[in-house]
Amino acid sequence: MMNSFNKRLKLMTTSAALALILAGAPQAYAATPADTLVLAWAIDDIITLDPGEAFEISTAEVTANTYSKLVALDPADTSKVIGDLAESWTISDDGLTYTFKLKSGLKFASGNPITAADVAYSFERAVKLDKSPAFLLTQFGLTGDNVTEKAKATDDTTFVLTVDKAYAPSFVLNVLTSTVASVVDKVLVTEKAKAMTPTAEYKYDTDFGNEFLKTGYAGSGPFKIREWRANEVVVLERNDNFYGEKAKLARVIYRYMKESAGQRLALENGDIDVARNLEPGDFEAVSKKEGIATTSAPKGTLYYFSLNQKNPNLAKPEVIEAFKYLVDYDALGETLIKGIGSIHQTFLPSGQLGALEDKPYKLDVAKAKELLAKAGLADGFTVTMDVRNTQPVTGIAENVQQTLAQAGIKLEIIPGDGKQTLTKFRARQHDIYIGQWGSDYFDPNSNAETFTFNPDNSDEGKNKTLAWRNAWDPTELSAKTAAALLEKDTAKRAAIYEDLQKQVLATGPFVMIFQQTEIAGYSDKVKDYKLGPSFDTNFVYTVSKD
């Protein structure tokens, strides 16, 4: 792969500086080219680039800049949905049928025309692949058996989606702005799938190009994916077939850099254009540096740790409550997350319908010991926590390790990169997992569903929500979550989500810590660089450089 990649680099540019940037060697720096944006970011959570499978924060940003969907959030007002590939849409009187008309003259990056058949294929493959994000579409009643009838093209420019219940239209449309609804090039994906080397496990007609799209590209966004090398680099290149305003830069490079100090040094030296993982002290330092600007944006992203209910100690209600009293929220707010987040203890981020700001928990070791004694664990116990080796996650885990020890709980931290920790978490093989959750779409159901909905708690369960990953079976809450989707009265719907948050706050195996404020330092040569309210609204196609 390395040799073929280097050959392609020569085709991309004659700039020796760019070649050095992409080489990946920690000490190999060079001034960034004028037509290229170089961002330093911890992209070790990327597992796949297939929008039908991807469910990671870094990938959400990459796909948002490289794939198009039927509809998208309005960047100027995220409470609204606007057309992307869709020119218009109508909803039947019974609220079950959504008919989308596509814009004319659309093309994929490959040059193939975009038709409603591509949209239908994209829905079909996502449902039939049945990967982590599939539940976002299957919640509408789509199954492998009915998807070709319920999500179909009636002609080249008309796509019809039939849902099983009369959901609030805003909910349906918001779901269709999520990564899993990205439209892929059916012709290209099918060709690539057929060309893959056959194996006993691989069948192109059931794989739907997943093997190709794990590292390949078949989209129509303002950029196309040129290359991804795990824990090294993602390279985007301008898509001149994009139907909208063309990207101002020729390429965008996400360079894997984990440490805040390294990012700060590279930014100050002009070796990168944007630093994305600055810790509070480094962010403050670069903000005072001539030639560097800073920006920030509140994110609908929450940091939490969760307790796997397969562990008998962690499944005790008193232990769950004790953990919530063994976090030094005040200390974290004043140090590790200062300027990059605010303490938040409920599962809906501030700004979403029904979000609560309740913060009933504080560090109280005596209270925690009392609860542990009631659980028959007065002498404590030993437990592990899987931790992605980036900040502030590592620092939070170490802080929690110290406070747990005060109550007799010995916490063993198991470090790993984003891919390792996520894979173990998704297989329900952890004791405790610490991480972040970003809303998949701008509707309270995005978070309510993942924290409270688990209709099948078996290892074979299809809805792999966070409740499922932690083997938590909140039967009553699952029913309330489903009912909220059919409530047309906004105030009543908000009240349902408020009640759900209160119940999870009291009994759920989730210790919510803070809501993220994303920050970045960037060269003042960079123009129009903005952070959105979610990672899939961090658009880079509008960025230019002096």
Q: Indicate the domain borders of the chain.
A: 2-45+57-63+221-278+524-545, 71-186, 298-517
State residue 5's pLDDT score. 38
Fold of 2-45+57-63+221-278+524-545: D-Maltodextrin-Binding Protein; domain 2 (3.40.190)
CA distance linking residue 35 with residue 363, whole number of Å? 50
State residue 488's pLDDT score. 84
State residue 200's pLDDT score. 62
Label the pairing between strands 274-275 and 410-416.
Answer: unpaired
CA distance linking residue 204 with residue 494, whole number of Å? 45
**Exposed e or buried b for every residue in 482-513, given b needs 16+ CB within 10 A?**
bebbebeeeeebbebbbebbeebbeebbbbbb
Q: What sign has the CA pseudo-torsion 478, 456, 54, 432? A: positive
Among 132, 136, 107, which Cα is nearest to 123's?
136
CA distance linking residue 344 with residue 346, whole number of Å? 6
Among 443, 546, 542, 437, which Cα is nearest to 490's?
443
Among 40, 43, 38, which Cα is nearest to 13's?
38
State residue 10's pLDDT score. 41
φ and ψ at 45, to 5 degrees?
-90, -5
Q: What superfamily would CATH give domain 71-186? A: Dipeptide-binding Protein; Domain 1 (3.90.76.10)
Distances (CA, A) of 303 to 16, 299, 344: 40, 11, 9
State residue 79's pLDDT score. 80
Label the pairing between strands 274-275 and 341-343.
Answer: unpaired
Average pLDDT for runs of 10 along the chain of length 546 = 40 45 49 95 96 96 98 87 98 97 98 98 97 94 97 98 94 96 97 82 81 97 97 97 96 96 96 96 95 94 97 98 98 94 96 94 98 98 96 96 98 96 96 94 93 95 93 95 90 95 98 96 96 93 95
The CATH code that applies to domain 298-517 is 3.10.105.10
Distances (CA, A) of 72 to 205, 441, 463: 30, 10, 24
The DSSP 8-state label assigned to residue 176 in this structure reads T
348's enclosing H/E stretch is none
DSSP H helix total and E strand total for the chain? 21, 19
Contact 103, 83 (CB under 8 A): yes
CA distance linking residue 493 with residue 487, whole number of Å? 6
Alpha helices in 82-199 (DSSP H): 116-129, 135-138, 147-150, 169-175, 186-195
